[in-house]
Structure 1
Amino acid sequence: MLSRRLALAVATGAVAALALGTAAQAAPARHGGHGATLRTLAERPDLLIGTAVDASALAADAPYRAGVSSEFSSVTAENAMKWEVVEPARGSYDWSQADRLVEFAHRHHQEVRGHTLVWHNQLPAWLTSGVADGSIDAAGLRAVLRKHITDEVRHFKGEIYQWDVVNEVFDEDGTYRDSLWLRELGPSYISDAFRWAHEADPKAKLFLNDYNVEGVNAKSTAYYELAKKLRAQGVPVQGLGIQGHLDIQYGFPGDVGDNLARFDALGMQTAFTEIDVRMTLPADEAKLARQAQDYRRLLDACVAVRGCTSFTVWGFSDKYSWVPDTFSGQGAANITDENFVRKPAYTALADGLRAAARRAGRH
């Protein structure tokens, strides 16, 4: 469901379109496409086109800021809503980066995805050290987790359309990941997290989220079985977030459409939440063409399924990509290059959105 502010933006389309056109002209990424941007090409009120946002780049880089505002109808905080950022000292909150992103989204008629409430990474040092030295026991940890989820979701109540509540809980073989949460609390922490998040903001859609779950495999099937079980118990699990971190040296994931369809049949939403497609450097024409094909195949799978409600790239410019620092010798994973020039992957997404609009009879 769209928020009231996005509904207002749709209702005042002429003004919004003028504002977007002005912002877009400032961005070097604009060339070709007859002035269209991804958010204007999507045209579906039930499909948001998003990007993860680097808080520092948003503050300091004008072309980056213009690209975020003109191209996307949804934004996700890349790091600004993670636990180590919002509560660096126990009981001491710092919402400043996240609040600035939400305010930016307000000004540009964008929705906000919340990422992420429970994860095994990027936890504050006071929490991990407290568990390690025994000063935070299992009961204390459960209380800490409940307070964190409640405080963060309430802080952003009414501002977040989808929350990644629990992130990356399974290994590749479909068994539970050996995390601090599993060791100390057992798998019940998952259902607890969803219930607490729902209590804090009943209108936000609540998602599981993971990588390597694009197609039908042991890991995505584990999520399917977990979601089916929890929903039967009345736990408010409403969506599956499919990250979409791909690498062109591997084959494209099989059965993506079938995977989305089975969650659709459960009455759940799906979303592609963190898409990038990396390659071994240097990039060349063939690699960029394969990258574009992979982006397009994910988009086509999303638009073909009623329940796929958002499609988010994990950053849109290679200038700020996480990939080179994480995967040695790899990069060029995003839809524009370091100078915000559109790559074939951008064109593939734009063409896919145009094709979807034609099939729906909107053009």
Structure 2
Amino acid sequence: MRARPLIALAFGLALPALSTLAQAPASPATQVPATLKDAFHGAFYVGVAVNSAQITGADAQGDELIVQQFDSITPENVMKWALIHPRPDAYDFTLADKYVEFGQQHHMFIVGHNLCWHSQTPAWVFKDEKGNPMTRDALLDRLHDHIKTVVGRYKGKVQSWDVVNEALNEDGTMRQSPWEKIIGDDYVIKAFQWAHEADPDAQLNYNDYNMESAAKRKGAIELVKKIKAAGVPVAVVGSQAHLHLSGSAADEEAAIEEFSAAGVKVAITELDIDVLPSTWNHTADVGAKVEEKPNLNPYANGLPDDVQQQLTKRYADLFAVFWKHRDVVNRVTFWGTTDKGSWLNNWPVRGRTSYPLLFDRDGKPKPAFYAVLKAAQQ
């Protein structure tokens, strides 16, 4: 597209091929590093969510890009309960072990995602051997066993754990998940307590979406205070940051500042920017489903130049905020490596052509990539 070189020139940057990114020295004129991890080294980790194909080596291009550009990884799915603990009497660490080995091999900051969530948790977790709902004490025992086993296996290897995921409603109240209904609100505190016992040196995170909303953010801060009041360390609040072209970077800045005032660091844990039309209020609830309609997939043949420019500016504005608050932000993780592998191609409308990340469907850097590099020079 013609807009690519035009946007690059606007940022004073060239457009090298992906294969040369790791080797290319910074331009003497701009001194802009060629990789994300180099650009933000010493400020915060730049991470990426990795999928099974990348963990097993089946996606060689994806692996090359991950190693070149990022210094932190998060597993998309292989550590979620349904995959790592599929049956009451069996754990399957096959892919999780490979994930951790990949991170260790490349000297990355390794994130475990996640220990307790209402989604992608098998139905058997909440039922006894007769199919009846578990009692509070029995479900607590089951949660304890899971956390002790998983965290204990990777003690000293996984540096950071998303302990509890998405425990809040949009108004900041506790979500009526099976965890909450059977155990009560204190399941969150128990999960953090047991994760800390299993690995006292691991960084523990609470992770949720729509932290840009003042009401939900207030609920998250109250939750953090309750965990701390129980004597359990919670170091980080993860703001997923599944964003859209609309909105302002000021919303993200407000969240960072308020969480900092509450005494926790902030990780941007699942960053992507949806450029496609929305009819579902931009929620990141994985249970959302929307009927496929042509008007919801307007860019099947490529992203128009004007939308590409909007995406570039949105990323530039966001990273200007992250850079400004690098004393509070300790990690920024993209939810996927390239546009081709993004979950937004199939959620909540299946089969769409989405463009939410810094690398296109062929693994080549987009104009937004260079805008993000430039943000570290401000």
Which stretch of structure 1 is more off in the superposition, 70-79 or 264-273?
264-273
Conservation of the 8 A alpha-carbon contact between 1:216 and 1:256: no
The reply on whether 1:353 has 2:349 as its aligned counterpart is: no
Match of residue 330, structure 2, among 309, 316, 319 = 309
**Per-residue CA shift, 1:26-64, capped at 9, x if unaligned?**
8487798757111111121x5111000012234212111
Change beyond 3 A, Cα 1:173–1:55: same
1:120 aligned partner: 118
Structure 2 Cα separation of the partners of residues 253 and 182 of structure 1: 33
Residue 269 of structure 2 corresponds to residue 273 of structure 1:
yes
Q: 2:180 matched to which residue of 1?
A: 182
User: Within the alignment, does 1:259 sit opposite 2:255 as a pair?
Assistant: yes
Structure-2 change in CA distance of 1:266 and 1:98 (3 Å): same
User: Please, which of 310, 313, 338 is the counterpart of residue 290 of structure 1?
Assistant: 310
Q: What residue is the counterpart of 1:16 in the other structure?
A: none
TM-score (norm 2): 0.81
Structure 1 equivalent of residue 358 of structure 2: 335
Q: Do structure 1's residue 159 and structure 2's residue 179 form an aligned pair?
A: no
Q: Is the 2:18–2:365 contact (alpha carbons within 8 Å) kept by the matching residues of 1?
A: no
| Cα offset, 1:72, TM superposition | 0.3
Aligned to 1:220: 217
The 3 A distance-change label for structure 1 pair 30 and 43 is: closer
What aligned pairs does 1:321-332 form with structure 2 within 5 A after superposition?
A: 321-328=342-349, 329=352, 331-332=354-355
SS of the residue aligned with 2:376?
helix
Runs of 4+ deviating beyond 6 Å? 28-33
Preserved CA contact (<8 Å) 1:131 1:137: no
Structure 1 residues 131 and 260: CA distance shift in structure 2, 3 A: farther
Distance in 1 between the 2:226 and 2:106 partners? 39
In structure 2, which of residues 227, 230, 249 is the aligned counterpart of residue 230 of structure 1? 227
Give 3-state SS (helix, strand or coil) of 1:113's partner.
strand
Taking the aligned partners of 1:246 and 1:73, their CA distance within structure 2 comes to 23
- Structure 2: tracts of 5 or more residues without a match: 1-15, 28-32, 277-297
**Distance across 2 between alignment mates of 1:211 and 1:253:** 15
- Out of 306, 320, 344, the position equivalent to 1:300 is 320
Q: Which residue of 2 is the match for residue 104 of structure 1?
A: 102
Amino acid aligned to 1:240: V
* Distance apart, 1:220 and its partner CA: 0.9
CA distance in 2, matches of 1:327, 1:285: 25
CA distance in 1, matches of 2:135, 2:353: 41
CA–CA distance in 2 between the matches of 1:221 and 1:134?
A: 35
Following the alignment from structure 1 to structure 2, what is the Cα–Cα distance between the partners of residues 202 and 300?
34
Matched residue SS, 1:160: coil
Please say which of residues 193-202 and 120-129 is displaced more in the overlay.
120-129
Q: Give the superposition deviation at 1:300.
A: 2.3
When residues 87 and 233 of structure 1 are mapped into structure 2, their CA distance, relative to the original with a 3 A threshold, is closer
CA contact (8 A) 1:274 1:313 kept: yes
Q: When the two structures are aligned, how many residues end up with a matched partner? A: 329
In structure 1, C-alpha distance between the alignment counterparts of 2:165 and 2:129, rounded to whole Å: 20
Q: How many Å apart are 1:239 and its aligned residue?
A: 1.0
Which one-letter code corresponds to 1:39 in the other structure?
A: K
Find the aligned partners of 1:110 and 1:120 in 2 and give their Cα distance.
28
Give the structure with the larger helix fraction: 1
Name the SS for the 1:272 alignment partner.
strand
Distance 1:254-1:218 versus aligned 2 partners, 3 A rule:
farther
- Sort the Cα spacing of 1:203 and 1:184 in 2 relative to 1 into closer, same or farther, 3 A: same
Letter in 2 for 1:315: G
Change (3 A) 1:340 1:189: same
Moved more, 79-88 or 279-288: 279-288
Between 1:328-337 and 1:271-280, the stretch displaced more is: 328-337
Report the counterpart of residue 359 of structure 1 in structure 2: none
Provide structure 1 residue ranges, at least 5 long, that are not aligned to the other structure.
1-23, 356-363
Counterpart of 1:312 in 2: which secondary structure?
A: strand
| Alignment correspondent of 1:320 | 341
Please tell me the residue identity of whatever aligns with 1:324: N
Partner of 1:80: 78
3-state SS of 1:354 partner: coil
* Distance (whole Å) between structure 2 residues aligned to residue 243 and residue 255 of structure 1: 13
Aligned identity (percent) is: 34
Instruction: From the superposition, tell whether residues 25 and 100 of structure 1 become closer, same or farther in structure 2 (CA, over 3 Å).
Output: farther
Give the Cα separation in 2 of the matches to 1:87 and 1:161: 21
**1:31–1:321: structure 2 CA closer, same or farther, 3 Å change rule?**
farther
CA contact (8 A) 2:126 2:139 kept: no
Are residues 256 and 218 of structure 1, via their aligned partners in 2, closer, same or farther at CA, if it must alter by over 3 Å? same
Alpha-carbon distance, 1:350 to partner? 1.1
Contact 1:76 1:115 in 2 (8 A): yes
Structure-1 separation of matches of 2:185 and 2:337: 35
